[in-house]
Amino acid sequence: MICFRSVFENLISAYGPQGWWPGEGRFEIMLGAVLVQRTAWRNAETAIDSLKRAGLHAPEALRAADRREIERCVRSAGFFRTKAERLKGLAAFVEEHGGVDGLAAVPTDRLRDLLLDVAGIGPETADAILLYAFDRPAVVVDAYLRRLAQRLLGHEKPPSDTDLRRWTERDLNHSAALNEFHALVVVHGKRVCGRVPRCSQCGVRHFCRTGREL
DNA sequence: CACCAGGGTGGTT
DNA sequence: AACCACCATGGT
């Protein structure tokens, strides 16, 4: 069991507010959420800029665009064939539901189910979109949060994603705190918790350190 | 050179 | 249900 309230306070006093999500507009945030998958943010941002220059920034233009042209724009984000197709599907999805304004009127639970039906949007991306594009109180469970929790718990069996979700919802109720929390977990994960070295004995990345920095 | 970056999908055991 | 390979570019 972890108190994410105290983790949050330690993180915010160490790093300060992060002001995520970078970028403007709900649809641009949705594009970024897909483009950033397994990719450094810089490379996703380059892809977004490229889409803008090509005039493929809006859902209507993107849905109707040639797939190969989208591929050229998003090449920097990696998995460019996969992501180009997923962005087209995402644009079609947004159009089918009355644009971002139409989606903004959908209740959170229903909106989450809709997002999960889009090819290329899994639990983490869906919750990131709910939280950052639509200002809903969603919990983003990512690899950094799992690793942080595993370290705080020591050698216990790692908590399930639903446990992490429950504990976070319990300790951080409003979307403003959840917004900062996920950003801080990522930023801290990169600078402090990052890099779990392989064990020189067995070669496995196990969590033999008891990192209690939070 | 190996490894990582703000995951998701489809197939196999 | 737990694993696995795959997608692919750019930075360290």
Q: Which nucleotide is nearest to A36 (CA to C1')?
A: B6
User: CA–CA separation, A208 vs A94, rounded Å?
Assistant: 45
Which of strand C's nucleotides are less than 7 A from any protein C-beta?
A: 7-11
Contact A91, A70 (CB under 8 A): no
AA identity, residue A6: S
Mean pLDDT of A12-40: 96
**pLDDT for the residue A166:** 97
* b (16+ CB within 10 A) / e for A170-204: ebbeebebbbbbbbbbbbbbeeebeebeeeeeeee
Percentage of chain A exceeding pLDDT 90 = 83
Contact A34, A83 (CB under 8 A): yes
pTM of the predicted structure, to 2 decimals:
0.93
CA A87, C1' C1: Å apart?
Answer: 30
Q: Would you give the DSSP letter of residue A76?
A: G
User: CA–CA separation, A117 vs A200, rounded Å?
Assistant: 42
Contact A94, A59 (CB under 8 A): yes
User: CA–CA separation, A189 vs A195, rounded Å?
Assistant: 9
Q: Which nucleotide is nearest to A121 (CA to C1')?
A: B8
User: 3-state class of A3 per DSSP?
Assistant: coil
| Nucleic strand C within 7 A of Cβ A143 | no
State the pLDDT confidence band at A50, using cuts at 50, 70 and 90.
very high
C-beta atoms surrounding A95 within 10 Å: 17
Dihedral, CA of residue A89, residue A57, residue A38 and residue A66, to nearest 10: 50
Q: What is the pLDDT of residues A73-83, one digit of tens each?
A: 999 999 999 99
CA A214, C1' B8: Å apart?
Answer: 31
Q: Which nucleotide is nearest to A195 (CA to C1')?
A: B4
Q: What is the pLDDT of residues A98-139, one digit of tens each?
A: 999 999 999 999 999 999 999 999 999 999 999 999 999 999
Region class of A78: left (phi > 0), else alpha (psi between -120 and 50), else beta: left
List the single protein residue with the shortest CA to C1' distance from B7. A37
| Nucleic strand C within 7 A of Cβ A38 | yes
Q: What is the pLDDT of residues A143-182, one digit of tens each?
A: 999 999 998 998 788 999 999 999 999 999 999 999 999 9
| Nucleic strand B within 7 A of Cβ A122 | yes
CA A141, C1' B7: Å apart?
Answer: 12
